[in-house]
Amino acid sequence: MKTLIVYYTKTGHTLEATKATAKGIKDAGSEVDILEITKFEPALLKNYDSFIVAAPCWDGGITDNGVPKYVTRVLESLPEYSLHDMRCGGISVHASKGGDTTVKTIGDLLNEKGATDYREGPVAIAGTPLSVDKGQSVSSEDLERYKIFGSRFVE
Ligand SMILES: Cc1cc2nc3c(=O)[nH]c(=O)nc-3n(C[C@H](O)[C@H](O)[C@H](O)COP(=O)(O)O)c2cc1C
């Protein structure tokens, strides 16, 4: 199985979570590429069996969406049914609350494009609420949770 993780980040915490997830995937003996979402093109999906979207929580603590608009636009631009035979996942980080909403919304967006096997991944505390101040990094305990998710994702 070969997995693509696309990530969106302003202050680097989602990349920390992405790298830990990728490490878990590699440790399980599976292949993975990570890609900043602005470099993603839907045509790339044909090279992969599975797809994980990593996004910080934006307004998930105060709305029922929580996904940065840029990420939403990219996922909405995927061709219809393009994910129908792909295992999919979502991970997030948040400063205090709402990341679970982000992970759920990522799933809704992927399911709209035909995903039938969406796996909700971890959410960890990092950063500063409603701000692009860097704030605290993802803790080593939480990095371990992403790693475990990555390994289980490819089982
Ligand atoms: C526009 C915006 C909205 C945010 N909304 C929330 C929120 O609803 N709940 C929360 O806990 N953190 C919120 N945050 C904080 C980020 O989720 C947090 O800082 C995260 O670690 C940033 O990830 P990044 O370093 O990958 O950009 C928000 C940040 C921004 C910039």
Tens of pLDDT, residue by residue over 114-126, are: 999 999 999 999 9
8 Å CB contact between 18 and 54: yes
Ligand 1 within 6 A of CB of 92: no
pLDDT for 124 equals 98
Ligand 1 within 6 A of CB of 130: yes
- Residue 27: pLDDT band by 50, 70, 90 thresholds? very high
Ligand 1 within 6 A of CB of 14: yes
Ligand 1 within 6 A of CB of 36: no
pLDDT, mean of residues 94-105: 97
8 Å CB contact between 15 and 7: yes
Domains of the chain: 2-153 (3.40.50.360)
8 Å CB contact between 145 and 122: yes
The more confidently predicted of residues 6 and 130 is: 6
Percent with pLDDT over 90 in the chain: 95
pLDDT for 133 equals 85
The one-letter code for the residue type at 100 is: D
pLDDT for 142 equals 98
* Beta-strand relationship, 50-56 and 31-36: unpaired
The one-letter code for the residue type at 50 is: S
130 CA distance to ligand 1 middle (Å)? 5
Q: Is the pLDDT of residue 131 over 90?
A: no
